Chain A
Amino acid sequence: MTIASSSPPSRLPLGGAAGAGTKSRTRRARSRENQGDGRLAAVFIAPAMLGFLLFLLWPTLRGIYLSFTRFNLLTPPEWVGLDNYVRMVHDPIFWDSLTVTVEYVVINIGVQTVSALAIAVLMQRLTQSAVLRGIVLTPYLMSNVVAGIVWLWILDTQLGIGNEIIAGLGADRIPFLADETWAVPTIALINVWRHVGYTALLLFAGLMAIPNDVYEAAKVDGASEWRMFWRITMPLLRPVLAVVLIMTVIGSFQVFDTVAVTTAGGPANATNVLQYYVYGAAFGRFQFGYASAMSVALLVVLSAITVLQYRLTRAGQSDLG
């Protein structure tokens, strides 16, 4: 069905109703109920529509437009075609920051998914205590800024309790956030601390959809917990796991707060993740055009992941049925 073929008939009843209106009160009443909400709907939808157009659709289009311009915020944007993209492809710092971001995402998502899965399964098979669910969610209520500062203190090389414990065990103190090799994994793990409970609860919700009979039956057959995990839990959770995974990956790519608060991109650009580089280009050097081009690059990566998400969820639906 095309739009062209469907729109003319929809106009006909309107004209008909208006003509018949004088003849029949009931028909007019019915037509008002069916189509007369237009004006009211416009009023009801207006604020949300304004917000949608002004702060979602317009900035999206404008962001793409700005990526083709030179723009320093003070003078009007100047069209430069693909210059920003050419520059991006030849910018070693851009590629470095993309590499750092991917490294961060891999560590962050890898550790977080495995831990969240473990916590979710423990909450399902060991204890379904609501208190426990509340406890694991607590860090999620903190801002990234709070989480970053707390761990900056705990992991401080000289005074942090984390390094006190390490020194107490007889090992060398680790400059977690001041060392080029340690900084990215450390930030990735700080964000695992904040988000793992949230992710675990998402997976837990998926696990609750698996009927308990399946486990009971397997138990009667003498299956171990380990075997049940691989033979029952994993296959049945797969669709939920796929959605959660890709959702968290998209969030993970947007890392900024924790980096800004703990390392500010250092040491020696070791934690210069993409968003941090974009922010620096825009607000540090006032290259809004170039910053927009890099944002578009990230948008493309994230859109590809979103498409993948829809593929996977659709593919996974047959599993649940």
Chain B
Amino acid sequence: MAAVADTTTVRRVRRGPSFGKVAAWAVMAAIVLITLLPFYWILRTALSSNTALAAHPGDVLPVDPTTGGFERALGLQSAEEAIAQGGSGGGLKFWRYLINSVIVSTLITVCQIFFSAMAAYAFARLRWRGREKVFGLFLAGLMVPTIFTLLPNFVLIKQLGLVDTLLGVALPTMFMTPFAVFFLRQFFMNVPREVEEAALLDGAGKIRIFFRVMLPMASTPILTLGLLTYITAWNDYFWPLMVSYSDSSRVLTVALAIFRAQTPQTGYDWSGLMAATLIAALPMLVLFGCFARRIVSSISFTGIK
């Protein structure tokens, strides 16, 4: 026991806390603070009342704690009540937008990954003429910045009569992205041929192999890809802004921006705005809480995106 204690003290004395190391930890701590403090500030503001916020802008804890901000964000307050508490009185129903966001993001994620996986399987394991050429065409699609396709896609969605519908918001990214096809093709190509051949010998057709062998084997990359797709779809603002005009297709990001633009005469409704921000951010934070490790490790391969 004593000997062990001895060696550790000796080592500690010899190394000493070098100045560089202390400085490095200090920098790291500062980075963590800058990263996380805004999240605390959202919560603190959302739980404060607007009048108290104006009087005590620097207090660390919520001032005059109230759930009024959340009530306004969720449309639970009457217009008079909302205006009295510093809100705009404009009707915003974040439940509605939350549901819209869930529908759009789920639709995009499920369909995009399923269709991309089908295409990826055809590129990786089926034999057909022109396969490499078609794949090359898909890959070339990676070069087109999404932003360039938005205006013409809006024109198309308008011609299809899908403006201001949830389907219109989801449609352009519902079928595929070149990245998803590319990523899943890489995985399918690395599945040992023996696995497939064994299933073939058992009399399974290629369709059956895809559903019963390939898809289950790819569950890990599919989940990883799915998380990234879901986050991207959930956070998208520019495209939904173009396509949705009313509550029927409005997603959270657009609703939040509208809430911010509805400035009451007394100044911003910061409490309500931060409550709405928290509602919009919470699902992603929960998702991150559940899948943090997978999301973090998935970042390294999105480099090819």
Q: B-contacting residues of A (Cβ < 8 Å)?
A: 10, 33-35, 37-38, 40-42, 44-45, 47-52, 54-60, 62-63, 66, 73, 115, 118-119, 122, 125-127, 130, 132-139, 141-146, 149-154, 156, 158-161, 164-165, 168, 193, 197-198, 201-202, 204-205, 225, 240, 243-244, 247, 250, 254, 256-257, 260-261, 275, 278-279, 282-283, 288, 291-292, 295-296, 298-299, 302-303, 306
Contact = CB atoms under 8 A, between A and B. Distances in A.
Contacts of A153: 41, 45, 268, 270, 273-274
B42 A150 contact: yes
B134 A159 contact: no
B257 interface: yes
**4 interchain residue pairs of minimum CB distance:** A51-B175, A205-B300, A59-B152, A48-B119
A115 B35 CA distance: 12
Given A66-B152, A141-B288, A150 B41 contact: yes
22 contacts: A41-B122, A48-B115, A51-B175, A52-B137, A55-B175, A59-B156, A60-B144, A122-B24, A127-B28, A134-B288, A136-B31, A141-B231, A150-B41, A153-B268, A156-B268, A161-B41, A193-B38, A254-B145, A256-B147, A275-B147, A295-B151, A298-B147
A138 B35 contact: yes
Interface string B280-296: 11001101100011011
Given A63-B152, A122-B28, A244-B303, A51 B54 contact: no
B235 A144 contact: yes
Contacts of B57: 158-161, 164
B145 A59 contact: no
Interface residues of B, number: 95
Contacts of A225: 20
A254 B238 CA distance: 11
Contact of B147 (A56, A254, A282): A254
Interface string B117-149: 011011100111101001001100101111111
Nearest to B296: A133
Q: Give chain A's interface secondary structure class.
A: helix
Contacts of A115: 31
A275 B239 CA distance: 12
Contact of A250 (B35, B145, B231): B145
Contact of A62 (B121, B123, B155, B210): B155
B175 A41 contact: no
A146 B141 contact: no
A54 B171 CA distance: 10
A296 B24 CA distance: 45
B296 A168 contact: no
B295 to A, nearest CB: 7
B156 A292 contact: no
A138 B41 contact: no
Contacts of B274: 150, 153
Contacts of B34: 193
A152 B260 contact: yes
A58 B152 contact: yes
A54 B175 CA distance: 10
Given A73-B158, A142-B235, A63 B151 contact: yes
Contacts of A37: 122, 126-128, 206
Nearest to A37: B126
Contacts of B231: 141
